[in-house]
Structure 1
């Protein structure tokens, strides 16, 4: 038993000596672990008491705010910013008290307090400016993408100025910081010219709005529905359910055809009939088919129609016209195919000929071909007779 006690004492003494040697490297002189542990424990206890006092004050003030809110029947929008400010003050006072307990210098405590108040002022400015900006954008009914872009730009500017102002409270040279940021910005700009070009083009598209999300467009021979307008690319979904991302720089410099900007779209289907057939009879056969289709509009100024468009070499070309809504643009080829099939069957049923290219050769008194044709007739055996 005595041997075990002696071994434990030697082990603890060796561990203490090792820790003493380690701390002696960091600071001069021997370390009194008893006094050090007592000081750390006292600081932790005092810090816990301070946190408890501030937390109790925070909860009490919050309860009083909620009681006042219910008594005067105020909305939650009034209480929310007050609670944020109260919570911020609680964390600030707690941090300052703990830092003072740990022996932080008064100058640093003052700088921290000033920086915290400045940060609170910039936060309030951000909240107010953002609220005013959202109200103005909603009043003018601008695109949600523009709203998000402006909010991000305002947030970045306010945060940048706030960080610079806070750093100034701790003695940083603001001019050097700004110059460094400028040099970094130039380097990034040269390294990402394509990205910046697409970014600027994206802003131009969002401001000019040649198309919106949900429109059916054709860009660079790519036709599809606009699914997303990002700051760098524009996303299209084709009829084959294939997503295409086109760089905004390319979109801004190309011809854009928007099929949905002005509402319903008119579609043409060419149909040919023989010269001997009546255009009126063909129209009476085709119109009921157009009017019966559920996806074809029948508005007063957008009724389907059939008219002659050209007298071609071997047929009378008819132009079959019908209107569809913008949300039907992705199935427009299917609608045209259905109508064309029904028109073909209806014209066949009505006995109206649909001509096709063919060639007839007439030979009158072609005596020059007699030396060539007679040997062929002589070589051809006569057809056998029945019976």
Structure 2
């Protein structure tokens, strides 16, 4: 019998004799009562810790409190089970197995606390109160914490196997030999894993980004980046699942990381309004330079560019301050309305495709076919 449980038996033996009950039953009851008391006490303490953390200006104590609140309640019952194992004598094999299970449970509880802490840390680092982060910063945070989780999972798995009596060194040696055969059998899976790893390291995009590939029919918003495939939600709300190995061989655009959006339009006026072209171009450029939504630190051009088949064309080249797609189109609409108003204010009109037909009389056609001029 363990020393820790011998203390319980020695202290409770007189009470068991007085109540005329087996001392083992009384010890088990005492352990259960101790577990219940510890459960309530830990619940109160952690709840109080959580309230104190919410009142403080620090945010990381909230992460710690949230990570401890649930696993700590299970830890006290694990302690009760561990102490009660000392009551069983003569069943060494059972006790050994039970102790292995208890040690494994302790490892899993500690891993549970660590995983909850990592999850809370990710939520804290990406929370809105820390300000808006660039998508590559979000990708770095997610990638780093996911790699930490994977490393933690591997370490915990090895510790669990070691606690269950499995030879980890032999397992690792076998894994080195079997890895060759597995590598040939799972080439695509390995390629996708390495592709996912390159996404996390290079950070071409992250969850929430709008991406597109000019090489493939890929366009939409990234919903999840897994180790085997990436899920994209297309603009017609269909899920698109892409193996990660594809991204190592195609070009990917990330419009979500644009600094500006471009307005690039060509407008044509009639040939009879040629006298107004210079004034219209100057007025449109002045309007863009005074527009509150146009970024003057970027290229801004308004120039008469070509004599078209049925119009005199000038082009508008400018960048908006916003990158939001809906806001950009509202700004572009406002700019085009102002351009049309400027054209109308200068007495000009927007040209539309026209064709001039020269009609000849029947006599002119007969004379032309006979080679005789009527003039």
Please indicate, yes or no, whether the TM-score normalized by the shorter chain is above 0.5: yes
Alignment of 1:159-178 (within 5 A): 159-168=156-165, 172-178=166-172
What residue ranges of structure 2 are gaps of 5+ in the alignment? 1-21, 54-63, 127-132
CA RMSD of aligned residues (A): 5.1
What residue ranges of structure 1 are gaps of 5+ in the alignment? 1-44, 375-387
Alignment of 1:253-332 (within 5 A): 253-274=249-270, 276-283=274-281, 286=284, 297-301=293-297, 307-308=302-303, 310-312=305-307, 314=309, 315-324=311-320, 328-329=324-325
Alignment of 1:334-373 (within 5 A): 343=339, 347=343, 350-354=347-351, 356=353, 358=355, 370=367, 372=369
Q: d(CA) in 2 for partners of 1:70 and 1:150?
A: 31
Choose the corresponding residue for 1:53, options 30, 34, 57.
Answer: 30
- Please state if 1:120 is matched with 2:106: yes
Residue 322 of structure 2 contacts residue 328 of structure 2 at CA under 8 Å; is this kept in 1?
A: no
Q: d(CA) in 1 for partners of 2:370 and 2:32?
A: 117
- Please state if 1:157 is matched with 2:154: yes
TM-score by length of 1: 0.60
Structure possessing the higher radius of gyration over alpha carbons: 1
* SS of alignment partner, residue 257 of structure 1: coil
Q: d(CA) in 1 for partners of 2:48 and 2:301?
A: 73
CA deviation after TM superposition for structure 1 residue 322, in Å = 4.1
Residue 264 of structure 1 contacts residue 326 of structure 1 at CA under 8 Å; is this kept in 2?
A: yes
Deviations 1:106-162 (A, max 9, x none): 254235425633652575377459858986994996535314522431232123212
Partner of 2:192: 198
Residue 297 of structure 1 contacts residue 322 of structure 1 at CA under 8 Å; is this kept in 2?
A: no
Deviations 1:50-86 (A, max 9, x none): 6433211212344566788899998693974654432
- Please state if 1:88 is matched with 2:83: no
Deviates more, 1:140-149 or 1:340-349: 340-349
Deviations 1:152-186 (A, max 9, x none): 31232123212320232xxx554554455556655
Q: Judging changes above 3 Å, is the alpha-carbon distance between structure 1 residues 187 and 336 closer, same or farther for their aligned structure 2 residues?
A: farther
- Please state if 1:247 is matched with 2:247: no
Partner of 2:212: 218
CA deviation after TM superposition for structure 1 residue 200, in Å = 1.7
Q: Judging changes above 3 Å, is the alpha-carbon distance between structure 1 residues 287 and 70 closer, same or farther for their aligned structure 2 residues?
A: closer
CA deviation after TM superposition for structure 1 residue 297, in Å = 1.8
Q: d(CA) in 2 for partners of 1:219 and 1:225?
A: 10
CA deviation after TM superposition for structure 1 residue 333, in Å = 6.6
Q: d(CA) in 2 for partners of 1:344 and 1:242?
A: 39
